Amino acid sequence: MRAVVQRVRHAKVTVGGAETGRIDSGILVYLAVASDDGGSDLDYVVEKVLNLRIFEDEERKMNRSVLDTGGGVLVISQFTLYGDTRKGRRPSYNRAAPPQQADALYRRFVDAIAARGVAVATGAFQERMIVLSENLGPVTILVDSKREF
């Protein structure tokens, strides 16, 4: 499972012109599921994302997590995080999970965030989305459950 996590001042997502999710201060998470992902991958990424110390404390040091700040989380499914560009010009998505498996783990991820008492918003799985955000910092962190980077 892979996630791109951005600290944002605000973010929103629309599908077909209708807003499906919005947060103020918090994190925007682009999430991809691999075909060999399971519960341990899910648990690792949930814990890592929620506990990343990427928000500033009173001394302007990044010592606070989204749990500490009470911020929201906007989760966007994005299988293209598994795009392999090592050969040719067209990315290969062979490692990405098939839609049914990916959707199930995506929904479990969202539910796990909400279960921790965090306000969570989402896009729409397998839909063309417009995501607008204001990256604060900028701060962008990569998370991979297989620890490939």
Which of 6, 20, 55, 78 is flagged as catalytic? 78
What CA–CA distance (Å, rounded) separates 87 from 48? 31
Q: What is the widest separation between alpha-carbon atoms in the chain? A: 48
What CA–CA distance (Å, rounded) separates 77 from 145? 16
What CA–CA distance (Å, rounded) separates 118 from 79? 24
Which of 55, 79, 109, 122 is flagged as catalytic? 79
78 is catalytic: yes
User: Locate tokens 């900028």: which residue?
Assistant: 138
Q: Are 19 and 148 in contact (CB under 8 A)?
A: no
- Tell me how crowded residue 106 is: count the other CB atoms within 10 A of its CB: 26
79 is catalytic: yes
126 is catalytic: no
Which of 80, 85, 100, 122 is flagged as catalytic? 80
Q: Active-site residue numbers?
A: 78-80
